[in-house]
Structure 1
Amino acid sequence: MQQATGLPAGWEVRHSNSKNLPYYFNPQTKESKWEPPPDTDSETLKHYMGQYHTANLRQDGLQNQSLDGKIRCAHLLVKHRDSRRPSSWREAQITRSKEDAREIVSSHEQKIRSGATSLGELAVTESDCSSARKRGDLGFFGKGDMQKEFEEASFALKPGEISQVIETASGLHVIERCVCHLRQRDGARKAQALSLSTPMLRNPAGM
């Protein structure tokens, strides 16, 4: 066991430039994983990832991108043993029941609504989606890009709104729709996103 990361001997954390996300790699076996390998110390890894591998995004979240009818959201995901992939960067094997997961995500929702914290801050350490490294950021997505329940809930939100707990095959989510406005730049329409909690990746690996 490596004390700094909590990963088993031989494993290390690397960064994927194509996905802009950390992953786990064993140089000896050449094996790579998006989820932590078995026998990982989840608490140690959680602390390490939160400290060293959270995406270094500007807090004001200004990024120029084309909207094309798309919206931008962030989310926090809590998986359970019946999720389609009952594992995450936080836990190699998730054993909690759906009821326990609902209690956890409902508690997170209450903290966000009370103003005690933001969705982005909580997502960094508590979300079971790999987008946690980007403060829950999924980036822009359109109709048909996400699971039906997630899509419907996201598009029903007004900019800046937080959803109720949403259930999908991936688990239980709280979603925040980001505040966006348009401006003209070099003759082309550009989207400038102002995220209250800094947005996500389309179809993140951990969902």
Structure 2
Amino acid sequence: MATGLPAGWEVRHSNSKNLPYYFNPQTKESRWEPPQETDSETLKHYMGQYHTANLRQDGVAAQQSLDGKIRCAHLLVKHRDSRRPSSWREAQITRSKDDAMVIIRNHESRIKSGATSLGELATTESDCSSARKRGDLGFFGKGDMQKEFEEASFGLRPGEVSPVIQTASGLHLIER
């Protein structure tokens, strides 16, 4: 199946981070974000089919805090004013913040209506590399995340999804 990557590039898997990354064996360049000239739509389908983790639900264990830590998943929509306007889906993100808000509000309404889950949407629609893990960020404590993200996350009850949260990274929906 075509990856959508420019000639010479391939998808590899990082054992240390348990995430896919992009590698060019000729130049020895490796990167987390796709290289320029990537066909984002083709890459999105390739990654969804071959590099999306099928994570099991941990039930109660996933919802309990450990030493003041909580576990959350999120769906991130970046825009051109995000601090890093690129992602595994798009080498260069050019959408406006208003356009990103329209996209994330659509995702929010689909989740609230029960049409889909945050984890399902995150695998193909999130601009964070955690998309491969259904948006799962693992456990984190106070001071580990951007202030707005942390405040929203710690304010949620287990299983609850936040409204749209804005950070320097972009627009988020967070599920504790």
| Alignment match, 1:144 | 143
* Larger relative strand fraction: 1
1:150 is paired with a residue whose SS is: helix
CA distance in 2, matches of 1:68, 1:55: 27
* Larger relative helix fraction: 2
| Alignment match, 1:71 | 70
Question: Structure 1: which 5+ runs fail to align?
Answer: 178-207
| Alignment match, 2:133 | 134
Aligned length: 174
Which structure 1 residue ranges, 4+ long, deviate > 2 Å from structure 2? 60-66
CA distance in 2, matches of 1:176, 1:110: 14
The CA deviation string for residues 145-196 of structure 1, in whole angstroms up to 9 with x for no partner, is: 000000000000011111000000000000000xxxxxxxxxxxxxxxxxxx
1:90 is paired with a residue whose SS is: coil
Letter in 1 for 2:103: I
| Alignment match, 1:49 | 47
5 Å-filtered alignment, 1:1-207, equals: 4-58=2-56, 60-61=57-58, 67-177=66-176
Contact 2:65 2:71 in 1 (8 A): no
The CA deviation string for residues 110-154 of structure 1, in whole angstroms up to 9 with x for no partner, is: 100110000000000000000000000000000000000000000
Report how far residue 56 of structure 1 moved: 3.0
CA distance in 1, matches of 2:81, 2:5: 25
CA distance in 2, matches of 1:80, 1:66: 32
Letter in 1 for 2:10: E
Q: RMSD across aligned C-alpha pairs, in angstroms?
A: 1.4
Letter in 2 for 1:41: D
Contact 2:70 2:140 in 1 (8 A): yes
Larger radius of gyration: 1
Letter in 1 for 2:101: R
TM-score, normalising length from structure 2? 0.95
Letter in 1 for 2:58: G
